[in-house]
Amino acid sequence: MVISNSIMLPPELVPDDGRFGSGPSKVSLDALDSLAKTGSAYMGTSHRRDGVRSVVSAIKSGLIDLYNLPKDYEVVLGVGGATIFWDAAAYSLIRHRSQHLLFGEFSSKFAAVVTGANWLAKPEIVASEIGTHPLPIPSMDVDVYALTHNETSTGVSMPIQRAGTDDSLVLVDATSAAGAMTVNPHEFDIYYFSPQKAMGSDGGLWLALCSPSAIDRIDSITQAGRWIPPSLNLANALDNSRKNQTYNTPGLATLFLLRFQIDRLNANGGLTAAASHCEQNALFVYEWAQLSSYAEPFVSNPHQRSHTTVVVDLDPAVSANDVITVLAENGIIDLSGYRKLGRNQLRIGTWPSVTYKDIQRLTAAIDYVVERL
Ligand SMILES: *Cc1c(COP(=O)(O)O)cnc(C)c1O
């Protein structure tokens, strides 16, 4: 590597792994090694045969264990990621009208999908100031509440609690929470995510933990005569998931890396242990920022601060871009804040795969660079 800047970190401040991105996030090297070791036995084989189907089966049972899911919940998966799941939800889950809690880029995108769906009524939008989260407002007019466990763009997380007791569904985007934050399955109907963030796998897939009410809703909407593109028809996803398959061809490496990570989380104390590891990482960064003369947590309410994507504002005198550039020259990467927020900030992934030691080194490295800029 050519160091073009004069600031070079002393070796004791260089993390073992310089990947601190908020997604795609750090994929463990031993997971990659393990994939490479499968040689000709896995990659390049049919996803309809046992080799791949047993991986899907292990992912399903691993998630049931990890979340301690009630017996009548099911794990459903499909190709495309959380973004495609929003499209599928507009076709296969929302009967008439949904309510969306809007507090950042990802929650806005789901609301935009539904707003444009001309077979649905205009959604109810409950927004809050950026850097905070709103709460659901019980409503007789909605049949779906759309929540986001952790808004990756702003580093705000919210509690997952049912809004009402009627037959509405609670859908939770858990892309940057699943595998890293605890949740009570009785408080949601669908907890869905892409696996390249908290789960430390690769992209291109969505997974959904579904309650019996969610399964009933899929059945009733998809049989009611609404035209649904087959790839967005969750009845097809459900049918294939029950056979340990996906409707169309999945990324086999993504499945493998996801299974590896789920097995590891379960072996290392499950969700509670993973969540407390992330909390420890995150609190270290927040405390460092609070003590620092040039940084402070972007989210002012400590209860709303994310434990997986930590956003830190920098004093205007210290350019976040310069800090990011110098750190990248030293192999520490992907620290940019969400670009559309347009603020002078750093965003740090404190995922289960990121070690406490590397978090400590990272903050020391930032101090070292800022002192010398
Ligand atoms: C990244 C992200 C998404 C989008 O995931 P894709 O896999 O790119 O579709 C959706 N929601 C949240 C909260 C995210 O962090």
* Closest protein CA for atom 12 of ligand 1: 175
Q: 5-20 burial string, b = 16+ CB within 10 Å, else e?
A: eebebeeebbbebbbb
- Cβ burial of 134 (10 Å; 0-12, 13-18, 19+) is middle
* Closest protein CA for atom 2 of ligand 1: 175
- Cβ burial of 283 (10 Å; 0-12, 13-18, 19+) is middle
Residue 354's contacts (CB-CB under 8 Å, 6 or more residues apart) are 17, 20, 25, 26, 281
Determine, yes or no, domain membership for 3. Answer: no
Residues forming a β-bridge with 336: 346
The last residue of a domain, from among 247, 267, 287:
267
Determine, yes or no, domain membership for 4. Answer: no
> Residue 86 has what pLDDT?
98
Determine, yes or no, domain membership for 162. Answer: yes
- Per the structure, the complete domain to which residue 167 belongs is given by 30-267
Determine, yes or no, domain membership for 5. Answer: no
Residues 59 and 200 in one domain: yes
CATH assignment at residue 41: 3.40.640.10
Give tens-digit pLDDT for 278-327. Answer: 999 999 999 999 999 999 999 999 999 999 999 999 999 999 999 999 99
Residues 188 and 81 in one domain: yes
The last residue of a domain, from among 267, 289, 320:
267
Give kind and range of the element (H or E) at residue 312: strand 309-314
**Tokens coding 220:** 């009733």
Task: Please indicate whether residue 79, judged by its CB atom, sits closer than 6 Å to ligand 1.
Answer: no
Residues 42 and 162 in one domain: yes
**For the packed helices 270-291 and 356-372, what is the interaxial angle rounded to 10 degrees?**
20
Determine, yes or no, domain membership for 1. Answer: no
Instruction: Note the pTM of the prediction, 2 decimals.
Output: 0.97
Name the band, by pLDDT with cuts 50, 70 and 90, for residue 340.
confident
Task: Please indicate whether residue 83, judged by its CB atom, sits closer than 6 Å to ligand 1.
Answer: yes
Neighbours of 84 (CB within 10 A): 17
Residues 289 and 239 in one domain: no
The last residue of a domain, from among 235, 267, 299:
267
Name the band, by pLDDT with cuts 50, 70 and 90, for residue 1.
very low
Count how many domains the chain has: 2
Ligand 1 atom index nearest CA of 83 = 9
Determine, yes or no, domain membership for 108. Answer: yes
Give kind and range of the element (H or E) at residue 173: strand 169-173
Residues 19 and 104 in one domain: no
